[in-house]
Chains A and B, each alone.
Chain A
Amino acid sequence: MAMAINSSAHRLVSPTNEPTWVRWTLILVGVLFMALFLVLPLVAVFSEAFRQGIGAYFDALRQPDALSAIRLTLLVAAIAVPLNVVFGIAASWAIAKYEFKGKAFLTTLIDLPFSVSPVISGLVYVLLFGSGSLLGPWLKSYGIEILFAVPGIVLATIFVTFPFVARELIPLMQDQGTGDEEAALSLGASGWQTFWRVTLPNIKWGLLYGVLLCNARAMGEFGAVAVVSGKIRGQTTTMPLQVEMFYNEYQGTAAFALASLLALLALVTLVLKTVLEWRFSDELAATGRGH
C-alpha cells in the first residue's frame, strides 16, 4: 500500500525535475562560486579604492596620468565602436540577405578575434607596422606613427572588438529574412529609405545590445593594447594599462580608483544588457525567440 502511494506521488513529479536536495546543492554550488569569483573581487575593488576616504579617491582620479588615461580610453572607444557598428551592419547585411561564394568563410573570419589570444592580435600589428616591417618605415617617412601611438591602439581595439556587433546582428537579420525589405521596395522606397525606415528600426535593439558589449570590451581591452601601446605615460596608456602601472608603482588607491571606474562601466553594461534582454527579448537574437 505504502509503495503504491509512493509511486503515484512519484509520477506527479515532472521527469526532468531532480530531488530537492540535488536542486539545493546545485544552487548552493552556483551561488558560492559566483560569490567567490565575481562578487568578492568586485567588493574588493571598491573597498580598496575607498580605503583612504572619498577625498583620496577623487584626488587619485584627478592625477594627470589618470585623466589622460580616461581621455584616451574614451577617444579609442569613440573611434572603434562606430567603425565596428558600420562594419557589423554591413557584414551582417551581406551575410544574412545575400547568397555569395565564400559566405561561410567570411562568417568564420568574423569570429577570428574571439579565438585568437589578444596578445597575438597585438603582435600582429607590431609585425605589420614595426620598424622591421615594410609598412612601418614607409608610413614613418610620411610622418605617420602607428605603433606606440594612438592609431595602433585604435587598430588593435577595432580588431579585438570586431565580432560583437556582427555576431549579434547576423542571426537576427537571418531570422527576419528579406520580406520587409521586399515589401518596402515594392512600395517604391529606395535602397536608403528601406535601410533607414525598415531595416534599421527592425534591428535597433539588437544593435544597441551589440554596441553595449562592443563598448565594454573596447574600454576594457588590455592584452592587444598593451603590446602596441608602448605604455608611454600620459600619452599611450589606456585605463586598464594605467591601472597596472599604478599598481606596479604601489599606488594602491589610484590603481583601484581607476579600476573602480571600469568595474562601474561593467555594472552599468550589465544592467542595460539585462534591461534590453528583459524588455526586447523577442527582438534580440542572442536570447532566443520566446514569446
Chain B
Amino acid sequence: MEVRVENVRKEFDRFPALHDVSLDIRSGELIALLGPSGSGKTTLLRLIAGLERPTAGRIFFGDTDASEKSVQERNIGFVFQHYALFRHMTILENVSFGLKVRPRSTRPPAGEIRRRAMELLDLVQLSGLEKRYPNQLSGGQRQRVALARALAIEPGVLLLDEPFGALDAQVRRELRKWLREIHDRTGHTTVFVTHDQEEALELADRLCVMSQGKIEQVGSPDSVYDKPTSPFVFGFIGESSELPVSVDKGDIWLGDRPIGIAGAQAQGQQRLFFRPHDIELVEGGAALAGVVASSRRVGGTRRVELDIGGAAHRVEIDLPFDHPAAERSQIAFRPKRWALFPAT
C-alpha cells in the first residue's frame, strides 16, 4: 500500500519535533528513515502508525485519508525496538494475539488462527519454540517473534522502530539479511527507522535522511551516498572530510594555493567535501599536500590522517594497506569526487 505524508507537523508541549514533512512511500518498497537521535524519525514513524496525532498535516494510506483513523483502524504492523512481547503469553499466543482480539464476525476459527500462527513461526524460522515464553528466547529470536506477530494481522504497512537497535552486532547483521529476504518474499510496504547508516544502506530500497525534524534527502542508497545534497548528508552518510575553500573562475583554492580541481560552478567561499576513498595520489602539480599525523590499518586499507596547512585542517584519506605512510612524511593527493556547499 502507498503511504503519503503531507505537510505533517508535530509538536510536543510546544516543542517542535517535526516541521512540515512530506514523504511519498511507494507500494511494496523497503524504505529507511535514517537520522541521528532527535531528528524526528521515530516521531514520523509513530505518526504513520497512529500512535501519535499530528499537530497539522495529513497522512494518506492509498487514497484514503488515515489522519483521523485510530491505530486499530489503520491495519499496520508495528515492531518495537524492545520487542514489547506479551511476557505472560507463549510465543504462539503472542503471534495469534492480533487475530484472537478481532470481533467475532471477522475472527477466523481457532484452528485457522493456530495454523496461520504456526505458518508465520515457520517463516521466521522459529518452529518448535511456540510453547516457550518470551524470556526463554534470545534477543534476536524475540525480535523475530515480534515480526511474526505484526505480520499475523496481514498489515497494509509494516513499521519497524529501530528493530535491531537492542541486538549485538553479529545478530544484527544476520537479522538484516533475513529481514530483506522476508520483505522480498512477502512484499509488504515496509518503513524502518534506524540511526545506523550501514544498516540503512544495506537494507533499504530508498533512504529518507532526516535531521532536526526535517527531511534532508530522499533517494536510493547509491544516489544518497554518491550525490549528497547537503553538508549534513555528506557528513552523516559514510565518512567524509571537509575543507574551507574559495572558488575563483572555476578553480578551487585552499588558502593561497590552487588544489588542482577545476570546473567548479560556484563562486566565493565554499565548503569542500570528499570521501576518504575518493582520492588519487599525485606526484607534482597542484594538489592538496599534507603531513601524516597518524596512520592505522583498517582491514584491507590504510586510513591516514593528514594535517594540511600546518595543523589548521585535518582530513582523512584511504591508501592501500601496504603504502608506507610513515609519520611526518609528505603526501600529495586530489579528490576524485567531491562536492561544494556555500559557506554559511
Contact = CB atoms under 8 A, between A and B. Distances in A.
Contacts of B80: 179, 182-183
B88 A201 contact: yes
Interface stretch (A138-146, A154-162, A184-192, A238-246): A184-192
B133 interface: no
Contacts of B85: 183
Given A187-B98, A197-B101, 14 more contacts: A180-B86, A182-B78, A182-B80, A182-B84, A183-B146, A183-B149, A184-B101, A187-B97, A187-B101, A188-B98, A188-B101, A189-B72, A197-B86, A202-B87
Nearest to A186: B78
Contact of A184 (B49, B87, B97, B102): B97
B90 to A, nearest CB: 13
A193 interface: yes
22 contacts: A179-B82, A179-B84, A182-B78, A182-B80, A182-B84, A183-B84, A184-B97, A184-B101, A186-B51, A186-B71, A186-B72, A186-B150, A187-B97, A187-B101, A187-B150, A187-B152, A189-B72, A189-B97, A189-B98, A189-B101, A193-B101, A197-B97
A110 interface: no
A187 B77 CA distance: 7
Interface residues on B, range: 20 to 34
Contacts of B261: none
A197 B87 CA distance: 11
A188 B73 CA distance: 7
A179 B146 CA distance: 12
A55 B26 CA distance: 85
B84 A185 contact: no
Contacts of A201: 86, 88
Given A186-B77, A186-B78, A188-B72, A180 B149 contact: no
A189 B102 CA distance: 7
B72 A190 contact: yes
A224 to B, nearest CB: 37
Contacts of A185: 51, 70-72
Interface string B48-84: 0101000000000000000000111001111010101
B31 to A, nearest CB: 19
A187 B101 CA distance: 8
Contacts of A186: 49, 51, 71-72, 76-78, 150
Contact of A183 (B70, B72, B78, B102): B78
B15 to A, nearest CB: 13
A149 B60 CA distance: 62
B129 interface: no
Nearest to B49: A186
Contacts of A182: 51, 71, 78, 80, 84
Nearest to B12: A99
A229 to B, nearest CB: 42
Contacts of B82: 179
A264 B167 CA distance: 50
A106 to B, nearest CB: 19
Contacts of A197: 86, 97, 101
A188 B86 contact: no
Interface string B90-122: 000000011001100000000000000000000
Contacts of A187: 97-98, 101, 149-150, 152-153
Interface in A193-228: 193, 197-198, 201-202
A185 B71 CA distance: 7
Nearest to A176: B87
Nearest to A179: B84
A179 B161 CA distance: 12
Contacts of A188: 72, 75, 98, 101-102, 153
A226 to B, nearest CB: 43
A94 B76 CA distance: 26
Nearest to B73: A188
B88 A202 contact: yes
A-B residue pairs, 10 tightest by C-beta: A187-B98, A179-B84, A183-B84, A186-B78, A189-B101, A201-B88, A193-B101, A185-B71, A188-B72, A180-B84
B166 to A, nearest CB: 12
Contacts of A184: 86, 97, 101
A186 B87 CA distance: 17
A150 to B, nearest CB: 39
Contacts of B84: 179-180, 182-183
B84 to A, nearest CB: 4
Interface in A160-188: 179-180, 182-188
A198 B98 CA distance: 12
A198 B97 CA distance: 10
A201 B150 CA distance: 21
Interface string A266-280: 000000000000000
A202 to B, nearest CB: 7
